[in-house]
Amino acid sequence: MRNLREVSAALRRRNRRQYTLLVLCIFVSVLLITAYVCMMRSPTVLTILPEGGDSRKQVMMIFALAVVGCGVFTAYASSLFFRYKSREAGILMALGASRKQIRGLLFRELAAVAVGSCVAGAISGAPLAWCIWQLFRLFLVDTQEMVLSFDPKAYLFTAAFALYTILALFLMGTKLVRRTDIMDVVNEQRKSEPIRDVKPWFGPLGIGFLFAGGLGGYLVPRLYEALFSAYPPAWLSIFYLPLIIGLYMVLLHTVIRGWRSGKNRYRHIISRSMMKFQGRQTVNSMLVLTVLIAGAYFAAFYTPTMSAGSTYRVDQRPVDYAFRYCEDQNMLTKDEIEAMASKDSVTITDWKDAETAVLAHDGNQQITDDSGKYHYEYRKLLGEGNYISESNFNKMTGQSVQIQPGKLAVVLSKEAANGDSKPSDTLLLTNMTTRKTLSVSFQEYLRDDMLAYSNFITYYVLDDADYKTITDGLVRSWRETIVFFDVKDVMQTYDFAKGLYNSIVDHFSPEQEYEDAYDRVEKIAAEEAGETYWGDETSLVKVSYRDRGSALFKMHWKYAPQFRVLDRNDLIATYAVFLMLFIFISIVCFAAVLVISHTRCLTIALNNRQIYDDLRHLGAAPNYLYCSIRGQISAVFGVPGLIGTLLTCICYVMILYLNDNQITQSEISSLVVCLCIVLGISAGIWGFYRFTLRKVCGMLNVKTAGKELSRQ
């Protein structure tokens, strides 16, 4: 070797495992972030996820967790690389290389490694996302909405993450070059990172912080809104901080002390001491893994919560077919629908129809200023509601309710909690044609899933005489008809349901092409006040008859029919983009978990090779060495997996309960599916843990097999 460059190349070849590990870690991190952000910013996804909706917020939250996890993982891989790189730098310094020469060689290598890995990951990210999405379309569901498109601006997120990675590498490289003590540089890789002992109460206190952070982060914003009549600012998320602190404390206690007491705490003293002397790396890795597992499970739980809950509600409907329409529409008649049914060999039973009225009601409107504070102002024409007479309600539902004169009842679903839809002391109803008014007060809640199927459409029941009085003179455009009927062998009537659905949509005029949040009373009130109605300027969602088969149309069109066989069979197709997006996110997060945990376990083998050789020379049995390795590997996989899974399950149950202070049957069914998912994913992680354990044992020449263990 004639020059420093050849010496450096020889050292590189000798330590190629470290270069391979760094390249792989950077490549995988950038690959996962790119795939995630390409999907997150895809027009296909953004069209389905409403602006400011909970689904989009959840996607962003999990993305933040993924960025933090991959960022910490990349920094950890870089620090590990430089621990071994310091030995090369020390050798070059001993050979007389100047700091400038070492800097030049190092920075050229870092540029090639960092830029090459980032570019390769960025280029591969979009094809990976596209391939996974196409597999979804091939094996799960394929609809017109599932055609995937990408936004080039998504690569701005990738560029930012790649820039962070490159800067972190060069900053660490600069720190290495600035060191002057040759022996200190050479022995860098031998240095341990022990952490101080903690008190026995440290772990239990951390568990307390976990619960305090979860409850505080969830409840404090609601308390703020109740006290100050203002929307909670983003900085209140700081109350989640105790959760992270508590998580770190629990992991620290696990690594240093463990949770065994008495004599049992000394059973694994060797493996625990190894972990303790690499405490910072171990705890940081576990923290990242726990956060990623929690995010992955949150994404994985979204699908069963939506699909299992929706399936349960569809199956529990008391009526097979239901739809409604304005009476000024040229809608299909009963005879025409029966003719369509006869053509498809479908037998209609128990046909029921009834008139309802759309009336205005008064109330207090929320007025919000630019600072987020809000107050309420009285409006005579606050919004619209759907009203039905008690006789028609009894006819349609089979119930026997009695509404007193001057009273009204609010119709809720069977699972809904009381209170949210209760009117104030008195309610002033207005006939929008004659402007006649009627004052009524609340009597009771009634339950029916067919009339309470939308967050934006609430039905109220009036006394027959009151209904007749207030609707006298109401024009047909403010009157509606609801139709319920059953059929024989409902799950065999898909073709009839599809044809009827399309025919109903075709019979609606273009004036009815608006979403369920559109309020005609609110629009008239705004125009009379000389203002522009928000629904004419911007919409939460856009519905179009041309997209009648899309999820947006079926979920948000104001007059969307409810056909059991159609909703049941097309459930996956209707929510395809929602479901596939969160499955994709879960896959990305769990892939990051497996890569990070596998990398951490390999570093255990690299760092502790000499220790295991010494133990072998001291006469340690293969069984003992195997158990020692297994103890460390199982801690890397098991502790984050257990904590992340428990945290997610507890938080998920808490969110479902605090949403309406109850857990409904549909939510219970979705929780059962979530439990099955946890068991399945846990089995997959266990299988990967066994693979990694065999890999590490092979690297350390500990080849004890299970059969040999049983004989010892």
| Residue 391 scores a pLDDT above 70 | yes
pLDDT digits (tens, 9 = 90+) for 13-43: 666 777 787 888 888 889 889 988 888 888 8
Contacts of 28 (CB under 8 A, 6+ apart): 121, 591, 592, 595
Contacts of 538 (CB under 8 A, 6+ apart): none
Buried/exposed code over 272-304 (b: 16+ C-beta within 10 A; e: otherwise): bebbbbbbebbbbbbbbbbbbbbbbbbbbbbbb
Which pLDDT score is estimated for 685?
93
Query: Which residue do the tokens 């044609």 mark?
Result: 433
Parallel, antiparallel, or unpaired for β 374-389 and 321-326? Answer: unpaired
Where helices occur in 608-705 by DSSP H, the ranges are: 609-617, 622-660, 665-699
Average of pLDDT values for 422-441?
87
Q: How confident is the model at residue 540 (pLDDT cuts 50, 70, 90)?
A: low
Q: Where are the domains of the chain?
A: 281-316+571-704, 354-481
* pTM (2 d.p.): 0.78
What CA–CA distance (Å, rounded) separates 415 from 273? 53
| Residue 650 scores a pLDDT above 90 | no
What CA–CA distance (Å, rounded) separates 627 from 696? 12
Average of pLDDT values for 378-396?
93
| Residue 550 scores a pLDDT above 60 | yes
Query: Which residue do the tokens 């479902």 mark?
Result: 656
Residue 645 one-letter amino acid: T
Q: How far is CA 261 from CA 61, 258, 481, 617, in A?
A: 38, 8, 71, 31
> Which tokens belong to 111?
């540029």
Neighbours of 517 (CB within 10 A): 17
What CA–CA distance (Å, rounded) separates 86 from 102? 11
Which pLDDT score is estimated for 357?
96
Instruction: Classify 240 as helix, strand or coil.
Output: helix
What CA–CA distance (Å, rounded) separates 401 from 447? 11
What CA–CA distance (Å, rounded) separates 206 from 190? 32
pLDDT digits (tens, 9 = 90+) for 445-477: 998 888 886 667 889 999 999 999 999 999 999
What CA–CA distance (Å, rounded) separates 538 from 704? 67
Share of residues in the chain with pLDDT > 70 (%): 85
What CA–CA distance (Å, rounded) separates 676 from 521? 47
Q: How far is CA 146 from CA 45, 155, 355, 549, in A?
A: 9, 21, 39, 12
pLDDT digits (tens, 9 = 90+) for 316-371: 888 999 999 999 999 999 999 999 999 999 999 889 999 999 999 998 888 888 77
Instruction: Classify 448 as helix, strand or coil.
Output: coil
What CA–CA distance (Å, rounded) separates 322 from 73? 53
pLDDT digits (tens, 9 = 90+) for 3-19: 666 666 666 666 677 77
Parallel, antiparallel, or unpaired for β 374-389 and 459-462? Answer: parallel
